[in-house]
Chains A and B, each alone.
Chain A
Amino acid sequence: MNSVNDRSRDIGAFVPRDDDDMLICRCEEITKGEIRRAVHDGMWTMTEIRRYLRTGMGLCQGQTCARLVKGIVARELGVSPAELEPATSRVPMRPIEMEVFAKEAKEDGHE
């Protein structure tokens, strides 16, 4: 187990900062303070953060904020961003209307 996932590690208490109200996830409107607090609430992986706060789950699917969120979480955990596993990638990679997602083309629909 690497240090990133060692949950017995003490990362200290949440300390408010001046820039906590800086918006990070533009789609879901999540601030830096919310992300930092989530880490102290026990969300140490990118996937947990995403599910907890919905960062990167809005219309753009994390195109803009993924790297920013990773940087903030890494800093809070005192590790390098490179050590943090990115959040799971799964279908659909791009925003898509449910109606379209559910509408599979017939066998040779596009040939």
Chain B
Amino acid sequence: MDNRITEHPILGIQEKGEPVEFTFDGKPVKGYEGEPIAAALKAEGVMVHRYTQKEHKPRGIFCAIGRCTDCVMVVDGVPNIRTCITPLKRGMDVRTQYGVSDRKFEEQ
């Protein structure tokens, strides 16, 4: 995907960590170690991070600084992880959150 800024007129080429692979809903995806999980997902074009508990509505990045908690996902089996401030690590298992689970509502 071309959501990454290759060279910025003011900031130049941004320093990134090691390229790593992780999984999103079981599918392998690439990112850079240490960048927020949300940044890596955004670079891959992922918009929906979770579906809400009551209305089952989609949510994604909203504040990007860990305040609004809209971007929470199930990471390595733990729900409600704020992906916008949680650094990406090699091999992380990142899953869409449905309510507070990684299982779709009809399977809950």
A–B contact (CB under 8 angstroms): yes
> Quick one: closest B residue to A97, CB to CB?
B80
Provide the residues of chain B in CB contact with A26, threshold 8 Å. 59, 62, 68, 70
Are A29 and B55 in touch, CB under 8 angstroms?
yes
Residue A53 CB within 8 A of the other chain: no
Are A60 and B67 in touch, CB under 8 angstroms?
yes
Residue A59 CB within 8 A of the other chain: yes
Q: How far is the CA of A26 from the CA of B62 in the complex (A)?
A: 11
- For the complex formed, measure the closest distance between the CB of B98 and the CB atoms of chain A, giving whole angstroms: 14
Are B52 and A59 in touch, CB under 8 angstroms?
no
Residue B86 CB within 8 A of the other chain: no
Are A63 and B53 in touch, CB under 8 angstroms?
no
Q: How far is the CA of A27 from the CA of B63 in the complex (A)?
A: 13
Number of A-B contacts (CB under 8 A): 28
We find that the number of chain B residues with CB closer than 8 angstroms to chain A is: 14
Provide the residues of chain A in CB contact with B80, threshold 8 Å. 59
- For the complex formed, measure the closest distance between the CB of B48 and the CB atoms of chain A, giving whole angstroms: 15
Residue B72 CB within 8 A of the other chain: yes
> Quick one: closest B residue to A65, CB to CB?
B68
Are B54 and A59 in touch, CB under 8 angstroms?
no
Are B54 and A60 in touch, CB under 8 angstroms?
no
Are A63 and B67 in touch, CB under 8 angstroms?
yes
> What 0/1 readout, one digit per residue, does chain B (47-72) give for beta carbons within 8 Å of chain A?
00000111101010011000111101
Q: How far is the CA of A80 from the CA of B49 in the complex (A)?
A: 37
- For the complex formed, measure the closest distance between the CB of A58 and the CB atoms of chain B, giving whole angstroms: 8
Q: How far is the CA of A58 from the CA of B53 in the complex (A)?
A: 12
Are A60 and B55 in touch, CB under 8 angstroms?
no
Residue A95 CB within 8 A of the other chain: yes
Q: How far is the CA of A3 from the CA of B69 in the complex (A)?
A: 36
What 14 additional pairs, Cβ within 8 angstroms, besides A26-B59, A26-B68? A26-B62, A26-B70, A27-B69, A29-B52, A29-B53, A29-B54, A59-B69, A59-B80, A60-B70, A63-B67, A63-B68, A64-B67, A64-B68, A95-B69
